[in-house]
Structure 1
Amino acid sequence: MVHNVKFWPKRTAKLEILIIFAHYHIGLHLEFHIFLSIPVLLATWFLGIKSGIFIAIVTDMFWLQIDWMLAPSEEAHQFLIFNSIMRTIISLVGAWLIYSLRKALQQLEVMATHDKLTGILNRHGFQERGKYIIDQSQRHSWPLAVVMMDIDHFKKINDSFGHDIGDLVLQSLGSELKKSVRSTDIVARLGGEEFALILPNTDSKHAHQIADSIRKKIETSRLSLPDGKFLTYTLSLGVTSGLGIDKMDLLLNQADNALYRAKGTGRNRVVSFHQTAHSC
């Protein structure tokens, strides 16, 4: 992720002015228009293709005006126009290449951190975002909660309806989870039928309420199948929360233990890790 993106318009503008100012004072004796591509490429990378195109055109207009004033004769003006057009084309091509490169890198990042079937984060993305959330929670002394969940009897769904319907169930759950949490919460599919949530600034009581709200919503919903029939399913969920946690694995293990308890005591329920700890 790029930090302080809001500062790049000013930085790019300052660099552009500096290059044009240097050209004005050095004159036509030294040709260094290649440096014009620097603010164009920076603007494209940090601000987008439209900003890069705008910077390319504006910069070359100023450059042409300076060349026009410094030209030794009017006969040279036609060459200056041609050079200006070539500079603009080169800058635009460079901007497009940088834009394409950044877009490709972003797509690769999404592929590496997101689950292809559901579109939510995968285990790797969950761990990466979790590190940032833990850092923020420690910095602000926020409680941090983790919810882990399994689709009850998912193997039976696959065996009875086929893997295509199983995939439909996974996609449906991923979509419902995204709609059921805040924009600051993290939703991920860790693998198979196992999903997880990270809930920043959430204590155990509120995490349990959120988890139970999700459980009830899934329990009462009906998934429409391609043949016109409906399918219902339930979830088992494990919840934990802590303050000053410095490792995500600790919360994951606690939530997993609570989930194991929920599955072992009848399924379709929410169990808190603190409940399991007190019962042991």
Structure 2
Amino acid sequence: MQHSLSKMPDARPKIRLVGLPTDSHSSFQRGPARAPAVIRAALASEHANSASESGLELGIDIMVDDMGDLPLNEDKLDLELIQTAAREAKIGGTVPIFLGGDHMVSYPIVAGLAEAIGQVNILHFDAHPDLYDDYEGDPLSHASPFARIMEKGLAKRLVQVGIRTMNRHCREQVQRFGVEVMEMRDFAVAQVPIPEGPLYISIDMDALDPAFAPGVSHHEPGGLSVRDVISVLHRVEQPIVGADLVEYNPDRDINGMTAVVAAKLIKELAALAGRNG
């Protein structure tokens, strides 16, 4: 059954929301599989409205079709289902925004988009580079999606923002794949490189300092503020082909604060994709 945020059900939706309830490739704690429903509840809550900071409103200025959650079962078919959903969304003329789930999902999403339109460029917000060649024996680990993406040539440029856990192996991977990294110690909104389109945006909620987003499995102090992330997004003028928001863990949240932040970022991503489409 499809659920729509649109107040004009006859209009062709521009943004397609897809929930990815999976955390089977998480390395520390599980919980992100429960995130999509909680984020949707925060989006629908009467505590706020559907307006983005640009003034564009979801359901009025931007048509949003919520496709619900994919029926993921923690097996190899999950990757195929996610990849197919990304490909079909793009072929169907919509911009897909995926609600994770752990960060493993970025790999099949980008693979599906690349099937539809060829190589993309990626703007990635995270505390971690997620470039491990093989983390704890799992090449599909949530610590490895960008290694898989880059080794398969699915992206031309990968820009990572907010990184503050760069170990030796990941630094070697950065060099291997030519990744552009703005570590948190060097962060400045105006200095973040924004890749040209077609642009994919991936937001790991632990890119944010735990003070702003406690509901994550991997607390990493010294991170981005909500305003930092939004200010970078406001600099994006390139066409957006898709986005994901991942690694929200409701089990660790406090008073639903991280869910509200996630909903805020989804609104800004949707407005950005609608504006730049």
Structure with greater strand share of residues: 2
* TM-score > 0.5 by shorter chain: no
Q: TM-score, normalised by structure 2?
A: 0.20
TM-score, reference length from structure 1 = 0.20
Bigger share in helix? 1
Structure with the larger RCO, 1 or 2 (CA within 8 Å, 6+ apart)? 2
